Structure 1
Amino acid sequence: MPSKMIFINLPVADLDRSKRFYEAVGWKVNQDFTDGNAACIVVDDNICVMLLTYDFFTTFGTRPLGDTRGTVNGVYALALSSPHEVDSLVEAALQAGGTEELSPDRRAQEAEVGMYSRTFLDLDGHQWEPFHMAYPA
């Protein structure tokens, strides 16, 4: 196992539906860490998303769940290797039932610094922001 990994824990209304969504965007379910309460979605060797049923998610703390469909509770930015990879991921998310958030003002600001991003919401309203940054040579 790598020395550092990140696990993003997300509450979901329908675990099976959410697993299908994330598989459709090209990520894999790790069956070793998946059961009726949770599913481990492998983004890459160092990044996993833990999809947790609402009931199970509430066992991790005492505060109530936020409404991810009506408010932004977090933005999950994911650096990718090219604008094409950004577009491919977002298009796969849209095909799987996700929605795209558009911000023309931000796009213009990003272009000034050599960044390209798009934003999609998964089936539960969790906001993903795949991006590519063109670093100066």
Structure 2
Amino acid sequence: MARQGQPKPFEPRGSRKPAKATAKSSISPKASGSAKASLGQQAIPEMVANRMARRIAIATGIPSALGMGVFVASYFLVSRGVVDIAPALTLVTSGAFFLLGLVGLSYGVLSSSWEDVPGSLLGLEQIRVNLGRLRQSVRAMRQGSPAE
């Protein structure tokens, strides 16, 4: 599970209750200037980034390969005289697969779990959670929430 006190990089500031403050800061005096500057720009954890990359590769790679395969298959079918396929049909079918790959890009990002536990195979339960977090983040940016 995610640590309770630390917000996720895409969550707006102030959406969680802060963790109990400790007497000593964990940031050294030398690093405090650069750490303060980078607080607003938190990186995606490596584990989550790998999970996203895997989902994106599958969700965009398969439809993109099928989109290119449509051209190859229609070329062989037409050149061998098996079937007469209209070029517009080849173009529309290939375009549909590439569009599906574009949708797969968003799906790969939104279906990835930001928790320590990877989640389910398809990640459908994470889409609603991540869309809600995305909406909150966009609302907070539009309202110009003050930086802490």
TM-score (norm 2): 0.27
Q: Which has the larger radius of gyration?
A: 2
Higher relative contact order (CA 8 A, sep 6+): 2
- Larger fraction in strand: 1
- Larger fraction in helix: 2
TM-score (norm 1): 0.29
